[in-house]
Structure 1
Amino acid sequence: MNILFINNAGFLRDNGSVFMTRTTGVFANQVEKQLNQKINFFQFVEDGQVSSGINDYQINNDQIKTVFFRKGNKKMFSYISVFLKILFFKHEAKLTYIFFPGNVSTLFAWKCFLFNKPYGLYIRGEYNKALSKPLIRKAKFVNTVGLVFKKDIDKINSNCHLIKPMVLYDFTKPLSHTFLKKRKEILFVGRIETDKGIWEILEAAKTLIKVLPDYQIRLIGSGNDASKVEDFIKQNNLNNVILHGPVYDPIKLKVFYLNATLFLFPSYHEGFPRVIYEALYFKLPVITTFVGNISGIMENKINCLKIETKSAQSIVKQVERLANDKSLQQELIKNGDLTLHQIFNSDIKSHSELFTSQFLSL
């Protein structure tokens, strides 16, 4: 075993086949081809249906070996089981590459730290926590997305590198067509959970149904609060809000982007969300909070409008402003195109290219 990946998202098992998220699966296969080495993953697995989750990339066992364990129903027992499996896992990899943060990822990073096993980190958040800093400091290298994260991580580990974001679409190619937007629609794509700002969207909808009666709000996603959100919509007669559910097929998701008018993302915390890149690519003016790495790429009144965290009033203000200002919409779209071009047409290496060079230099 030369390369061991510790993913920070679990796997899905459906009818005997194992699946992971598409971007991670594509990355692993690219590394396998570039290095001509089998890739090994360690993570928990849950039984389910491919159609109901983001894990839709089937793992080819000839290329990628998985070491997984079932996730228990009781949280405490699951953590004890994970700890024991990690502790006694036979660890012979030349390099362990850890997708960080995550519970399994953090535990495995500490094992590498304590037993002096070489490891690298792919960081998308939580690097400022006291228990994270020693792990970052000792890593052979750190890869991340966004200048804000890199600037902070550089202070802990100088061997930190930017990668091009792992995305579902080829943003270097121009759109082949655009749809005629017959409806006025505000689009949200993400988890239907509190920390994504979902309740602020619903509170804002109470006002927006009055001030912008011809606009709909479409929520694409699934999550712990989905049933509560559905009940809230019915109880408050929010006929302007549509809870669509998850859409994982990139071709089907594309249709919703192309038919939307505005993109809204009021999250409480993030790395840099892939969906903002997608909204820019599909020429949607973006309204977003400036959390995590978002402020390192997005600029208020340049390529987006900024909203305050946990503020329905801020959402109403900026949505109403943008809906009534066509020239501002076009200005944000134009600058959003420039932002994408600067990121995806730059000389920054892709994740697989950078990792391959780092592994070969060990």
Structure 2
Amino acid sequence: MKAHKILIIPNAEITKVKNDFAVEKNTGEFAAELQRLGSKVTIYGQIIDEPNNIHVYKLNENSLNVRGLYRKSNKVLNYILLYLRVIPEILKSDFVYIFYPTAFKYTAFICSILQKKYGLYVRGMDDMQGKIPSLIYKQAAVGFCVADFFTDNINKIVGKKIAYTMRPMITLTENDIVENRTYENKDSYEILYLGRMTNDKGIIELLHGTSELKKMNYKFRLSLIGDGEYFEKLIELANQLDINDVVSFKGAIFDSSEIRQYFLNSDIYILPSYHEGFPRTLYEAMIYGTPIITTFVGGIPSLMKDGVNCMKIEPKSIKDIVSSLTLTFENYNKFGLLARQATKTVSSLLETRKYSHAMDVHRYLNKL
């Protein structure tokens, strides 16, 4: 069987790490699995020589090829050079796989001009509508999406089925599902947030909500796991709100067993994000049986149902955060019913979607 030459264009930079290059863990693992399945994989993008605690998967160490250009100070020149540099890489490839949305989206049109097939990994709300996205969808050979919301949108625009909802891009399986958790009212509750520390994740509202709950004399602790450009600012905000006694900033954690323990030790998982595709952390919370409070943005409503398997809050609403947590603290045994239903939701999903993301792409390429 032919070894396909695949060019992957992620939607984040590549980080220079000593004598190697690194990307986000799940991106690297996806590329490595594709290579184990028999493809020759190259990852292309803008290279930055700055510390990045999120980029921990080393590429050369895992026999993955890297191409790209170091970031220039002039942004316009930077992108012109990146687009020119990608042309020979596209010509050498059998298939180009673009993580979408991305600032590097016009690569799709270069592929079309060069008559090279490209596919899309659609994972977020940005750049979903309009003439340019519609053209990108219509010229794509295939799309794999993180939620039915994105799949249905693309197929509607294209007028035929080219997009498919994939299995969650997580390493967890049906065997990891925790079904024996108990949900009893407590004197104090553990709340967990896990994700990027950026200005669009709703953490500012979460900290203000935490301050209000503390003033109402509820007993709880909030653990924030993750890193990002707002990390220091959020620590400063927690200091200003005088909530350091109930808030802990844990930084980035990548060890799967440690993350599992945080979910199991937490009574509530909260995601107050402004926009998402379908975050992996919701799958993790469902698998580990941690009750969920979340905004219904992006692809989240395609799987999460308010009052069925989670509790809904509105984006940017401190009031919703406070009222939902208050309701949970006072009725936790009933809130546990939502968690049990969420476990059934994810169990059904994992049973029906057997193939990993890399296997989906590999099976598609073998049909060409």
Tell me whether the two structures share a fold, i.e. TM-score over 0.5: yes
The residue that corresponds to 2:8 in the other structure is 5
More displaced 10-residue stretch of structure 1: 263-272 or 199-208: 199-208
Give the Cα–Cα distance (whole angstroms) in 1 for the partners of residues 15 and 181 of structure 2. 34
2:257 to 247, 251, 260: 251
The residue that corresponds to 2:349 in the other structure is 343
The residue that corresponds to 2:117 in the other structure is 118
Matched, 1:22 2:25: yes
Give the Cα–Cα distance (whole angstroms) in 2 for the partners of residues 64 and 113 of structure 1. 25
Equivalent runs, 1:163-202 vs 2, <5 Å: 163-175=166-178, 184-202=189-207
Unaligned runs of 5+ in 2: none
Give the Cα–Cα distance (whole angstroms) in 2 for the partners of residues 183 and 74 of structure 1. 52
- How far off is 1:177 after superposition? 9.0
2:293 to 287, 295, 316: 287
The residue that corresponds to 2:209 in the other structure is 204
Unaligned runs of 5+ in 1: none
Give the Cα–Cα distance (whole angstroms) in 2 for the partners of residues 90 and 338 of structure 1. 43
- How far off is 1:123 after superposition? 0.9
Give the Cα–Cα distance (whole angstroms) in 2 for the partners of residues 153 and 185 of structure 1. 39
- How far off is 1:184 after superposition? 1.9
Contact 1:44 1:71 in 2 (8 A): yes
The residue that corresponds to 2:42 in the other structure is 40
Cα distance change on mapping 1:260 and 1:343 into 2, 3 Å? same
Give the Cα–Cα distance (whole angstroms) in 1 for the partners of residues 304 and 353 of structure 2. 20
Aligned length: 358
- How far off is 1:200 after superposition? 0.9
The residue that corresponds to 1:85 in the other structure is 85
Give the Cα–Cα distance (whole angstroms) in 2 for the partners of residues 43 and 344 of structure 1. 32
Matched, 1:161 2:164: yes
- How far off is 1:43 after superposition? 1.4
Give the Cα–Cα distance (whole angstroms) in 2 for the partners of residues 205 and 278 of structure 1. 23
Matched, 1:274 2:280: yes
- How far off is 1:116 after superposition? 2.9
- How far off is 1:175 after superposition? 4.3
Contact 2:292 2:310 in 1 (8 A): yes
More displaced 10-residue stretch of structure 1: 245-254 or 167-176: 167-176
Matched, 1:298 2:300: no
The residue that corresponds to 1:235 in the other structure is 240
Matched, 1:218 2:209: no
The AA in structure 2 aligned to 1:209 is K
Cα distance change on mapping 1:62 and 1:191 into 2, 3 Å? closer
Cα distance change on mapping 1:44 and 1:183 into 2, 3 Å? farther
Contact 1:172 1:344 in 2 (8 A): no
Contact 2:45 2:82 in 1 (8 A): no
Q: Deviations over 1:170-192 (max 9, x none)?
A: 34334499799996211111111
Contact 1:168 1:250 in 2 (8 A): no
The AA in structure 2 aligned to 1:98 is I
| Structure 2 SS opposite 1:13 | strand
Contact 2:11 2:100 in 1 (8 A): yes
Q: Deviations over 1:123-149 (max 9, x none)?
A: 112332431110111111111121111
Matched, 1:314 2:326: no
The AA in structure 1 aligned to 2:140 is A
Matched, 1:57 2:62: no
- How far off is 1:87 after superposition? 4.9
Q: Deviations over 1:74-95 (max 9, x none)?
A: 5444334323323565622111
Give the Cα–Cα distance (whole angstroms) in 2 for the partners of residues 194 and 68 of structure 1. 28
Cα distance change on mapping 1:16 and 1:91 into 2, 3 Å? same
The AA in structure 2 aligned to 1:267 is S
| Structure 1 SS opposite 2:200 | helix
The residue that corresponds to 1:102 in the other structure is 102
Contact 1:22 1:55 in 2 (8 A): yes
Cα distance change on mapping 1:176 and 1:280 into 2, 3 Å? closer
Give the Cα–Cα distance (whole angstroms) in 1 for the partners of residues 285 and 228 of structure 2. 21
The AA in structure 2 aligned to 1:28 is A
More displaced 10-residue stretch of structure 1: 91-100 or 312-321: 91-100
The AA in structure 2 aligned to 1:31 is L
Contact 1:96 1:119 in 2 (8 A): yes
| Structure 2 SS opposite 1:143 | strand
Q: Deviations over 1:223-266 (max 9, x none)?
A: 22222211111122113222222212222222222221111101
TM-score (norm 1): 0.91
Contact 2:314 2:320 in 1 (8 A): yes
The AA in structure 1 aligned to 2:106 is L
Matched, 1:130 2:131: yes
- How far off is 1:202 after superposition? 1.5
Cα distance change on mapping 1:212 and 1:294 into 2, 3 Å? farther
Cα distance change on mapping 1:177 and 1:255 into 2, 3 Å? farther
The AA in structure 2 aligned to 1:37 is S
Contact 1:266 1:289 in 2 (8 A): yes
